[in-house]
Amino acid sequence: MEYNTKREHLTIPEYGRHVHKMINHATRLTDKVEQQKCVDAIIAFMGQMNPHLRDVKEFTHKLWDHLHIMSDFKLDIKSPYPKPEAEKLEEKPEPMTYPSNKIRFSYYGNTIPTMIKTAMKMEGSEKEIMTGMIANQMKKSYILFNESSVDNNIIRLHLKQMSNDELKLADDFEFIRSASVRQGGANSNKKNNGKKKNYKKNYKKNY
């Protein structure tokens, strides 16, 4: 028995060993006409693996690129698309920089600071409405993190700190009630539990 580990390395394993063998055979052909016929047949065979994409131009272009790559760029044939450059394929992408933004309060996530920056650029009533929406969202996030009661003054303080004292709530601003936030989460859990129970009942009936 011959193990795959002892066989020739597959450049693109998704196409299988038979496709690679056919391409190797095509590279050894000296008759250009026969070589072109062989390559066209190989492209048609490769397209059969995804017949619903066979006539899509982008997919066909990818097949020809893969053909050149698997032949180690040894095929000098007529192609409807330009031959890919081996140098570009070997180029390594530049390393991505790790995000340097620091979240001051982890339970607010990264969305709240972004919303605050947006609100700081607003003016008039639009800014006031946006500030109120942010404050209520902060309270929801805080309750999900802490589950116990939250003092509205804490939310005011955090909003002040995160906006560098630029966003201020009106003295008579009414926060969303903590009970409504918890009740919403409890109701969703009840609905999910109810679905599980019904599923179990149906399961027993069917079986």
pLDDT, one tens digit per residue, over 54-92 is 677 788 899 999 999 999 999 989 999 998 888 888 888
Determine if the pTM surpasses 0.75: no
Cα–Cα distance measured from residue 57 to residue 35, given in angstroms and rounded to the nearest whole number: 23
Residue 41: inside a domain: yes
Helix (H) or strand (E) holding 206: helix 178-206
As for how many domains the chain has, the answer is 2
CA distance 22 to 20: 5
In a domain, 165, yes or no: yes
Tell me if residue 50 falls in helix, strand or coil: coil
User: Are 74 and 14 in a shared domain?
Assistant: yes
> Within this chain, do residues 107 and 169 fall inside the same structural domain, yes or no?
yes
Domain that holds residue 83: 10-89
Highest mean pLDDT among 6-10, 26-30, 139-143: 26-30
Instruction: Give per-residue pLDDT as tens, 115-165.
Output: 999 999 999 889 999 999 999 999 988 888 876 678 889 899 999 999 999
| Measured distance CA(48)–CA(15) in Å, rounded | 11
Mean pLDDT score of the chain: 82
